[in-house]
Amino acid sequence: MGKFSTYRYLELKDDTSTSHISVRARALKQPRRLKKIFILLLVLALCATYFLGLFAGQTQWFDGLAKSLGYESVYHHAVIIDAGSSGTRVLAYKFRVPFTVFGQTSLDLVDEYFEETKPGLSSYVDDPEKGAETILHLVRRSEERIPIDAKKKRSTPLIVRATAGLRLLPADKADMLIKTVSEAIKQLGYDVGDNSVEIMKGSDEGIFIWYTVNLLHNLMGVETMAALDLGGGSTQITYQLEEEDTKLFPLSDQYIVPAGENITIYTHSYLKLGLLAARYGTFSLEASDNTSSVFKSVCVDPIVQNEKWTYGNKQYVISGAARPDSMKRDAVYARCHELVKRYVQLTLDWEPRTAPRGAVAAMSYFYDVAADAGIIDVMKGGTVSVAQYRASAIKACSASNVDQPWACVDLVYVVTLLQDAYKIRDNERISLFKKVDGHEVSWALGLAYTTVMHRIATAPAA
């Protein structure tokens, strides 16, 4: 208002020249017009940037809008059998392809079915037909929960991957199990190829669990989480490498994978360092006879006597070694830790010099051991540290708990694996997951996702 009054004052004062007043009027109108045009262009640019961002980001809002306008979703299925050392699981997935314009094709997980049977496939080494039947039963159960019509089923991959349990079997026995299962699942009407039933490489197990963790947390293309998986027979560690870190790791453990863009990850699988394998290995170190099925261990409370335990299709009898009544908690823990650490050092085939970068997620027996010790909520999970595992181990190693006879050795082993093998510091936070948003945290999801994505990518060329 003040600026307008000033110009108005000048016009009234100098009214002897019409041309002078006319020039002032044009000078006033031109900046205002340019300002309006500039603001309009700015608003259009902001709107374009916003909507392009929506397109590229594939927001739920834009995908929902596309559906409301008549977009029909395309669905894909995959059925994965995880034939682990301690049990066999079916994980059946239903994926949806969201609407996309500028961004890359992606998949939304809309449904999942999980079921597990015990013992694991390797337990049927002398009865492969019965082992195959357990898998057929699981697949049929998944069809009841996530129905697939006959036409869709013919293009749905059915993949069976055996893990450390079969890796530890004699080659001829493992091959017979693989062959029997392969022949059995061909009768189910799924897309079953020559490589549908295999013993899984440890590196694949690590890569796919890494995919699963980061897919469920929507971290692909940003700062990803390290994934630590602890099975019965083996353990895997997988995480993203910065370019300057690649020289610190064996080339055989480095893989280039798509994660928004191509990145390099490190993964290593340690056979015989799964929880059950390590428990057996620790007990064996104390035995004078390598063929013995009777063990006496300093990692078991003396109140435990002649406890039966089955591992690798063989039954063992375990008792706690005697200890002085005056032995303090720390001393009880220390002698178990010394034994467990010796087993780990004898078994490690590669030892990294540094801890994983960034956030760390851990699954499987890492979760179960923490839940059994009361460190985390058994249903919700949570975060832990090596220090917390150690505190629980010290307590468990001096507690007369016949209901959890292996609590001491298992907790000590987790501490040893994390601090001595994986170089994780005492107070670094580790996130423990069993489920994320209701979905099982399993390498099976990573395998299913990458398999379906590959099929979508190669379909036009087929």
- Triad 108, 203, 344: Cα angle to 5°: 125
31 class by beta-carbon count within 10 Å (0-12 exposed, 13-18 middle, 19+ buried)? exposed
What pLDDT, on the 0 to 100 scale, is given for residue 85? 86
- In angstroms, the CA 222 to CA 217 distance is 11
Instruction: Identify the pLDDT of residue 461.
Output: 53
- For 305, half-sphere exposure in the C-beta direction (CA atoms, 13 angstrom radius) is 3
Dist. CA 214–CA 219, nearest whole Å: 5
- Residue 457, classed as helix, strand or coil, is helix
pTM of the model: 0.82
Residue 234 is assigned to a ligand binding site: yes
3-state secondary structure of 89: strand
Q: Residue 261: its pLDDT value, please?
A: 84
Strands 74-83 and 158-162: parallel
Q: How far apart are CA 95 and CA 456, in angstroms?
A: 12
- d(C-alpha 428, C-alpha 360), whole Å: 9
Helix (H) or strand (E) holding 317: strand 314-320
In this predicted structure, what is the pLDDT of residue 377? 96
Tell me if 236 is assigned to a ligand binding site: yes
Cis peptide before 119 (omega within 30 of 0): yes
Contact in structure between 253 and 245 (CB atoms under 8 Å): no
Q: Which two tokens stand for residue 416?
A: 């040893």
Position 138 scores a pLDDT of 98
417 CB-near residues (< 8 Å, 6+ apart): 230, 235, 273, 278, 344
Alpha carbons 35 and 47: distance in angstroms, whole number: 18
Among 141, 220, 194, 137, which Cα is nearest to 449's? 220
Question: Distance between CA 411 and CA 371 in Å, rounded?
Answer: 11
Per-residue pLDDT for the chain (462 aa), expressed as one digit of tens each?
443 333 222 233 333 333 332 333 333 344 455 546 655 655 665 555 555 554 444 455 555 555 555 556 789 999 999 999 889 999 999 999 886 655 567 788 999 999 999 999 999 999 999 999 999 999 999 999 999 998 999 999 999 999 988 988 999 999 999 999 999 999 999 999 999 999 999 999 999 999 999 999 999 888 999 999 999 999 999 999 999 999 999 999 999 998 878 899 999 999 999 999 999 999 999 998 878 899 999 999 999 999 999 998 899 999 999 999 889 999 999 999 999 999 999 999 999 989 998 899 999 999 999 999 999 999 999 999 999 999 999 999 999 889 999 999 999 999 999 999 999 999 999 999 999 999 999 999 999 999 999 998 888 654
Residues with catalytic annotation?
205
Domains of the chain are 2-40 (no CATH), 73-200 (3.30.420.40), 275-347+386-428 (no CATH)
Question: Is residue 364 a known part of a binding site?
Answer: no
Position 238: which residue type?
T
Indicate the residue type of 166.
L
